[in-house]
Structure 1
């Protein structure tokens, strides 16, 4: 990475961090572009070059949360023996991570659920569920049915998390509902062994 690209990367990280800090204190409403720029120490025009809209900022903050989740999984892969149990493991890890900053989590989830534009959040969560539950299966390798199953579970989790943030669910209730959904959706999603007979289990990238 060149000095210039490293500087750009650090500037982008600083902007995302500033946006997350503001959202954690006042929700998406607090993520005013000018305020984010001031907090990050960049010009407003610079901010718009990196993130043309507030939704782009929201997506970037969410992507960083998923990065943290993936890093956690790489350090400590789920040890459960069945696809549903492995999926529940990572979804509850994600829940605990997001709930450390409930204001931020509420702002992000509400924005993504209500957004009228496509964001990569659902696709990334679907891909993560496939990798851990279907023995390393990727989005490109998955069948349409497998994509639908993993995507449906990701959608259930997002909706249940929103209910928890609204005070309508407890952590234990979410876990029970996720376990029920996973057992129905992913019980048959496991990837077949390769021709040599070895199991294609998920491994860190």
Structure 2
């Protein structure tokens, strides 16, 4: 397992040129992460592939965990708007949540090596606490809020959605490592949503 770098603030791109470099770094990590295991991806190779200096890479991503958390966050953001729009067409908040999570599952399974690297980075970062992962939770939560038409969500709603996302990540990880097949992963996701979202405010509102 790669070591986490000493905790320091990651820079955010502010200019057009910086944003272009930032995107190239994430693109390079995505490409290399799709081909190689997490421990095999080297930051120097990412920098070379992105056409940036190694110092530039470390400025925005102080560790490989920062980098792959960034890749995961971007993937969630990229599919978020479209999934939320389609999810709003579902007949119920439960159906919308299952739809979003099933689609996200299949997206993760398209590039299993990359997905394992992203989940590894996120879990390790969360445990150690030196890499900010709140944006992953916030992005996924916002997609589900939009898809389920929670306006506004209650504190309980937010807690329930957080628990669903946590369970979904565990299901995806089991599927990626071969402990579950896709059909079982989808069935487990549906059951988890049924159990955890029974007290969702929109669900209560629709049943009275």
Interval of TM-score (by shorter of Structure 1 and Structure 2) = 0.7 to 0.9
What is the number of residues matched between the two proteins? 186
Residue in 1 aligned with 2:136? 121
For 2:201 and 2:168, the matched residues in 1 are separated by 20
> What are the equivalent positions in structure 2 for 1:162-181 lying under 5 Å apart?
162-181=173-192
TM-score, length-scaled by structure 1: 0.82
In 2, Cα distance between equivalents of 1:78 and 1:167: 32
| Structure with greater proportional helix content | 2
Residue 25 of structure 2, aligned match among 15, 30, 40: 15
Query: Kindly tell me: are residues 125 and 26 of structure 1, through their superposed partners in 2, closer, same or farther at Cα, counting changes over 3 Å?
Result: same
Give TM-score, length-normalised by structure 2: 0.81
> C-alpha root-mean-square deviation of aligned residues, in Å?
2.1
Indicate whether 1:146 and 2:157 are aligned: yes
Q: Determine the C-alpha separation between the residues in 2 that align with 1:71 and 1:125.
A: 11
- Give the unaligned 5+ runs of structure 1: 193-198, 200-205
- 1:38-77, aligned counterparts within 5 Å? 38-73=48-83, 76-77=86-87
Shift of 1:5: 1.9
The C-alpha deviation readout for 1:76-112, integer Å capped at 9, x for no partner, is 3442211111000000111111111111011111221
Residue 136 of structure 1 and its aligned partner are, at CA, apart by 4.0
Verify: 1:27 aligned to 2:29, yes or no.
no
Contact kept, 8 Å, 1:78 with 1:90, in 2: the verdict is: no
| Structure 1 partner of 2:8 | none
Q: Which 5+ residue runs of structure 2 have no aligned equivalent?
A: 1-13
